[in-house]
Amino acid sequence: MGDVEVAVFAELEEGVPTAVEAFGRQIALVRWGTECFAVRNICPHQTVAFTAGRAQGQVLPADRFGNIVVDHADPVLRCPRHTYKFALRTGDCIVDARLRVKTYSVSIREGRVFVGDGRE
């Protein structure tokens, strides 16, 4: 199927999921800095849409001094219902290893966001 144009990068709000349609599915796009991520817009925990949630840096275990460490290079998407968190790069659930959300490849060309279906 190839790539489908779904948005203008500059119009996406940082960290706020935006619903788009591609490949017969609703997909949540998340702008994070100069990157953009795409996941299926449904939390596998209790099937609520991610678009009411938010992206954030991943909170890591405290350092040896007890300071909270946040990894902004590895963002997570937080489900709005039970705050389950999913790594935007992999789709893996941070709080329950049995859960995962489908991710889609994303490219930004000339300021436009394209989502790939993952098939060659």
Domain ranges of the chain: 3-116
Coil, helix or strand for 72? strand
Global confidence as pTM: 0.88
Neighbours of 66 (CB within 10 A): 6
Q: CA–CA separation, 26 vs 32, rounded Å? A: 19
* CATH number, domain 3-116, options 1.10.357.10, 2.102.10.10, 3.40.50.300, 1.10.8.60: 2.102.10.10
Structure tokens at 85: 């968190």
Each of the 120 residues of the chain gets a pLDDT tens digit; together they read 689 999 999 999 999 999 999 999 999 999 999 999 999 999 988 788 999 999 998 877 777 888 887 778 899 999 988 889 999 999 999 989 999 999 999 999 999 999 998 654
* Angle at CA of residue 10, ends 7 and 13, nearest 5°: 85
Residue pair 106/115 in contact (Cβ under 8 Å)? The answer is: yes
